[in-house]
Amino acid sequence: MRDEEIKALFDQQAAGYDKQWAGMAPIREALYLLLDALFIDLPSDARILCVGTGTGAEIAHMAERFPGWRFTALDPSGAMLEVCRQRAEHGRFAERCDFHEGYLDTLAPGAAYDGATCFLVSQFLLESAVRTGFFGQIAQRLKPGGLLASVDLAADIQSPAYEVLLPGWMTLMSAAGVDAQMLERVRAAYARDVAVLPAQRVAGIIQAAGFEAPVQFFQAGLMLGWVSRRAADA
């Protein structure tokens, strides 16, 4: 699936996206709890780049938790970004946000950010070299020592563990209220449009992009999270 096809898919889902995935909120809240602990030492006036922010759930969380921070909400889907904007206006933190429709290469260059988030985005980049370049663009926009929290689906799909985790993950989504049509889309995407790689390979891709060795801090089923610090010489 090409970039424009993925963008169109998220444009179509934007209005009902949060409702569709509401049942998975406990996983999201656990992730955000750990994110708070990882980002707690960033400056009180930190600038945070949220890559592929979608409807802006992580921005809403961080904006409440860290009232001095400013955010750049980056997403290629204008419809998703509009939901993010409405969330920010409703939460009264829109004045602390810059909304940017597009990809990383459309952002102004320069190391301007203290931290970045990238949740369930890089997995759609099927070629490892392209994925490395994607993380490299994030590294280039972080200040030296800046932190990246990233989450992607990851597993060794040839391992016995995957044969346990995949059905369990699908059952979890079904129990959380994700409808049958969406589950079928997800199942098809995992086979065709998502690069589910072993955790060590994902970490290696991030490190090769200009980060110190990533540290895994989160796992829920097939969702794994890493925190990575921009290398001084990136």
Look at residue 225 in the predicted model and tell me its pLDDT.
98
Strand partners, 153: 223
160/203 Cα distance (integer angstroms): 21
Kindly list the structural domains of the chain, giving each domain's residue range(s) and its CATH number in brackets, ordered by start: 3-229 (3.40.50.150)
- Helical spans, DSSP H, in the chain: 3-13, 17-20, 25-39, 57-65, 78-91, 128-141, 160-175, 180-192, 199-208
207 in helix, strand or coil?
helix
Report strand pairing: 215-220 vs 223-229.
antiparallel
What pLDDT was estimated at residue 222?
Answer: 94
Say what the pLDDT of residue 1 is: 55
DSSP state of 66: -
Residue 211 structure tokens? 């980060």
Structure tokens at 194: 């998502």
What's residue 71's pLDDT? 98
- Cα dihedral value 23, 12, 77, 22, nearest 10: -10
**Tens place of pLDDT for every residue, the chain, 234 residues?**
567 777 767 767 767 777 877 888 999 999 999 999 999 999 999 999 999 999 999 999 999 999 999 999 999 999 999 999 999 999 999 999 999 999 999 998 888 999 999 999 999 999 999 999 999 999 999 999 999 999 999 999 999 999 899 889 888 888 888 888 888 887 777 777 899 999 999 999 999 999 999 999 999 999 999 999 999 876
Radius of gyration of the chain (CA): 17
